[in-house]
Chains A and B, each alone.
Chain A
Amino acid sequence: MMHGRYHVPPVFRAVLVGLMLLSARASAQYVETNDCLDCHVNVQRQNDFCPPVAGRIWLEDDKHRRAFFLLHETDLSEPNKGAAKRELVQRILGFDLLDAFTDQRYVRLKDMADAETARKVATVKLCLRCHGTWPKEADASYTTAPPVRLEFGVSCQACHGPGEKWDQPHRIAAWRMVTPEAKAALGLADCRSPVAKAQLCASCHVGDVAQEKFVKHKWYAAGHPPLPGFELGTFQAQMPAHWKSLREKGPFLFRDGPPPDDFLVQEQRDRLVRLGVPADAMKRSYREANFPESQASGLDPCSDLAATKDAVIGGAVIAATYARLVGDYARAACDAKAAWPELAIYDCAACHHELRSGLAATSRPSRSHPPGRPPLAGWPMVLAPLAAVQTSDERWSAVSGPLVELERATTSRPFGDPSAIHAASQPLVTALKQLADNATNTRFDDAAARRLVQYLTGSSRSWPDYSGARQAAWSIREIARDLGHKEADALFTRGKDDPLALSLPSGPQRSVTENLHRWLPAAARYEAAWFHEELRAARTVLLPDGR
């Protein structure tokens, strides 16, 4: 292989990118979000890589932009709404949000002068990990004022990384030929990698104890809406996504190689070197920089069905994120750094279900653990097998063993044994990550999509609980869309009923809290038998010839 010297196995690659990103972020500074928007809301500045007005989509339609406004109301025309929100946040925190700030505009946190203030400020920071742009690794550089003004919510740099070092170089078209590792070294997160992207999303939407992104049960009990199941493809489609998949983009400049008469390219390369990009990190095409092995393995990631790929990779990554969250929390509890038990790590429905006696009435999925002990949530794991379907089935055995071990550790006694939980989570996380990496380098074409539908709608799987069924329904709809089915959105909705509450409250006008009135009753009324029939119907529609 021509560039064998730089070839890094994909497993280590992801770790490497992560490490580089962490070190880069620790010291990197954030740029003004308005600087990003200057270009990214400007139709004149669009090019063949960026979709028109990516920034505008985020600015106007994306809930992430309003993440901080969930903590305080900015719409002064509705004083009642503001009061209710303030009261809710106060109940969750145990104090008024403003107590932690120096000013009415939420610009700066107070100095941690006394213990009481320090406690409040630290608590509010935990909220801002997800409700703003303030990752833990930025604490070193940003102590009282956030890296990005809170009113921007989860802004550009929350996902793409602090812009100081890559802001300038990324404006140069030849940047497309820089390796993700080199970009990460400058602080840019590799959102094009399905694994890295899924990890980013899952860190808030599932949780990450190490990054201090974790909703405690106490907060839920006080009124924080429950985190719903999270299916990557559906959620990003309904965000709505402000990017195009590589397949949608089609050929763009430098995708498959530099233009033959590229005297300008050399000039761009020189500028990139001056801006800190190592010369050997610049390849001859986007493809070569991002998918060095794909040519050898005969794959074309640029033509992959994007939503299908996200459903598969997301399934494994979300499972890994949840297993790590559980393990990390248990570890912290062992070290007496966290309270035990923490109910938020278990399946909500373990307790929050209608009580029934007898046999026919059981609404709880029966698993291989003693009844009556809260098990871990089932939904984060249900789509992980898709990655095994995509690679080869025997890979699943590397996951299923540790998974049973973790279930056992969690239910050996009520709430489980934290040190055993931690120990069992480690191999599971490793196996799931491996599975995700392996699945990344496979072909996501129509045949693969049909195979996945076949698996999801097959009779070998049962869907005893609502949240798991919703994951399945979401992913099937995404895959169906990739397969070009115009009726994909109509699947599982039974007309306009939407008994699984699959539609998300996307857009700035629709509220997550109000949507709870839809999906919580839907969860209480879920019937596995009905869903089984729906799956059979979906199979008939999506695989008319049975294949």
Chain B
Amino acid sequence: VLIACPLALHGSDFALARNLPDDIVGTQSCASASCHGAPHGRVPDSPLGREYLVWLGSDPHALAAQRMLQPRFQELLRRASQGIDGSGDLAVEQKCAACHDTSQVHQPPLQVMSTEHSVLPRTPALSQRERESSPHGIACETCHGGARRWIAAHYERDISRKQLLELGMTDTKDLLVRARLCATCHVGSADHDMNHDMMAAGHPPLRFELASYEALIPRKHWDDRPARRAEADYEVKLWAAGRIASAEAALELLAGRAKRAAGTEASKSPAAWPEFAEANCFACHQPLRARDDGPRVFTSQLRGVPPWQTWNTALSEPPGSAPMQLRSSMEASWAPEPAEIARLAHQAPNRLTGSARLSEMSSASVLNQLKGAGETATWDEGCQRLAALVAVERSLRDRGAIDARMSDAWHARARRVAAQLRFSSADRQWPKIFTEPNASLADLSREVAALGDELRRVAGATGSEVAP
């Protein structure tokens, strides 16, 4: 079998040279012209057969490892490392690599050479040329699973999906599996922790929302049209899977942070506790104002301690009493008892209920949920409500309930709300709140509610089953 696929052999050498875990065969193994690297597609308008090239050309994940070579990454690393001589810390870089360059994580530590005030303060684990020739940051196997055991089998005629999964392939067609995969980095996990220290060093905040993120990939290396045809509510399911996975990941991340703070888990550096990244950003990052004469910008909560974040839990807070208890414990004091938080965060997620909850969620249930939602207390939740409605609109469009003209009008309106909710220019990851006037959360909530009403009306008029 290996002889039948010479590139795979080459890939395995490559992998060995990199000291990668045994299951990884390397992207080159997938990229042959007859497999996933065809210069022209087999089916018009579809990435089928040319997945590798589409990924390489238009998927930001392909550049994740190269990012680590850029001066701005190195400067951020230097800031986050706090080395006395201004050098980057290998341990911090390994933390970055957990998401940015999974091929590097298993590298044995190389000798660190630090030079003062240098933009590239240390010898990178891989030489620059080496990395540029293999820009395999978030590559095929990062998401699809290490291929050693299934690379030769996955194109065989009689192989079943179940068999492939048993061989180690990841079931990315299962939306919840996919969402959990994405959330590992885009939200975090016990081992993938992008915290407030990193953000203060310049890292952009993580604001994951699966459906929007997929829509942001200019050209996807897979074709979701068949799935959309098979499931009328595909977009809503995708959105819902993202919500469920985000909440789960947020809890796992919190549990990991709390455990490190409690000292129950070995850690090289003392954990930051309280971890400010767990809080609502705008609870603290408020503009100083002359008078406290109105609602605060982007949060109406004022309790003396910052409220726990809602970005990852809005509209998807896992059921049960543990999450509520967790929220009230997180908001009871500045530095809640980490052991207690770890316990509650561990109790809260229940991965087994995830798929059951996903099956309950639909356009109708989302519109219903949002109907009586009232005023949002946080900017995060306002954004998530809008994202939910955008997913519902897409679902309605997929099933033909909204024509192009109506859709354009609705989106024009949604963009206005998004502009109010968000950022004054495209290159900003944070809304400007000090130097620009901000809309009140009450006004924003009303606007979002009106957008929902419109979708409800459309669904009702076309006799779609989403009508409440």
Contacts and interface: CB of A to CB of B under 8 A. Distances in A.
Interface of A: 88, 91, 218, 221-223, 225-226, 340-341, 348, 351-359, 361-362, 364, 366, 368-373, 412-415, 513-514, 516-517, 520-521, 523-525
A372 B434 contact: no
Contact of B285 (A341, A353, A359, A361): A353
B291 interface: yes
A514 to B, nearest CB: 7
B413 interface: no
Given A351-B285, A357-B204, A370-B82, A218 B196 contact: no
B288 A226 contact: yes
B197 A354 contact: no
Interface in B245-275: 270, 272-275
Contacts of A357: 199, 202-205, 428-430
Interface string B381-395: 000000000000000
In this complex, the interface size class of chain B, counting residues with CB under 8 Å from chain A, is: 35 or more
Interface string B158-199: 000000000000000000000000000000000000011111
Contacts of A355: 281, 285, 430-431, 433
Nearest to B199: A372
Contacts of A348: 288
Interface string B324-335: 000000000011
Interface in B188-223: 195-205
B75 interface: yes
Given A352-B287, A369-B82, A413-B270, 12 more contacts: A88-B291, A226-B288, A351-B285, A354-B430, A372-B196, A372-B272, A373-B200, A414-B272, A415-B335, A514-B290, A516-B288, A523-B288
Contacts of B410: none
B290 A513 contact: yes
Given A357-B202, A359-B75, A520 B272 contact: no
Interface in B299-325: 302, 304
A60 to B, nearest CB: 27
B291 to A, nearest CB: 6
Contact of A354 (B80, B334, B435): B435
B304 A222 contact: no
A520 B290 contact: yes
B82 A356 contact: no
Interface string B74-90: 01100110100000000
B434 A354 contact: yes
Contact of B334 (A341, A361, A366, A516): A341
A370 B434 CA distance: 24
Given A359-B75, A371-B80, A352 B286 contact: yes
Given A354-B432, A371-B201, A525-B435, A223 B292 contact: yes
Contacts of A362: 202
B433 to A, nearest CB: 7
B405 interface: no
Contacts of B334: 340-341, 415
B201 A372 contact: yes
Contacts of A525: 435
List 10 tightest A-B contacts by C-beta distance, closest first.
Answer: A372-B200, A371-B200, A355-B430, A372-B197, A516-B290, A351-B284, A357-B204, A524-B434, A354-B434, A371-B201
A218 B303 CA distance: 10
Contacts of B430: 354-357
A218 B302 CA distance: 10
A458 to B, nearest CB: 21
Contact of B197 (A91, A370, A520): A370
20 contacts: A225-B290, A340-B334, A341-B334, A348-B288, A351-B286, A352-B285, A355-B281, A355-B285, A358-B72, A370-B197, A372-B199, A372-B272, A413-B273, A414-B274, A414-B275, A415-B334, A516-B289, A517-B290, A520-B289, A521-B435
B76 A221 contact: no
A222 B287 CA distance: 14
B273 A414 contact: yes
Nearest to B204: A357
B103 to A, nearest CB: 25
Contacts of A524: 287, 434-435
Interface string B422-458: 0000001111111100000000000000000000000
A514 B290 CA distance: 7
Interface string B116-152: 0000000000000000000000000000000000000
A222 B274 CA distance: 24
Nearest to B334: A341
Contacts of B201: 371-372
B276 interface: yes
A150 B428 CA distance: 51
A447 B275 CA distance: 51
A357 B286 CA distance: 17
Q: Which of B72, B80, B202, B203 has the most CB of A within 10 A?
A: B202
Contacts of B272: 372-373, 413-414
Nearest to A372: B200
A347 to B, nearest CB: 12
A520 B274 contact: no
B304 A218 contact: yes
A414 B434 CA distance: 24
A510 to B, nearest CB: 14
Contacts of B198: 372
Nearest to B306: A351
Contacts of A341: 334
Nearest to A92: B292
A88 B203 CA distance: 39
A91 B291 CA distance: 11
B82 A414 contact: no
Contacts of A225: 290
B202 A359 contact: yes
Contacts of B76: 359
A80 to B, nearest CB: 13
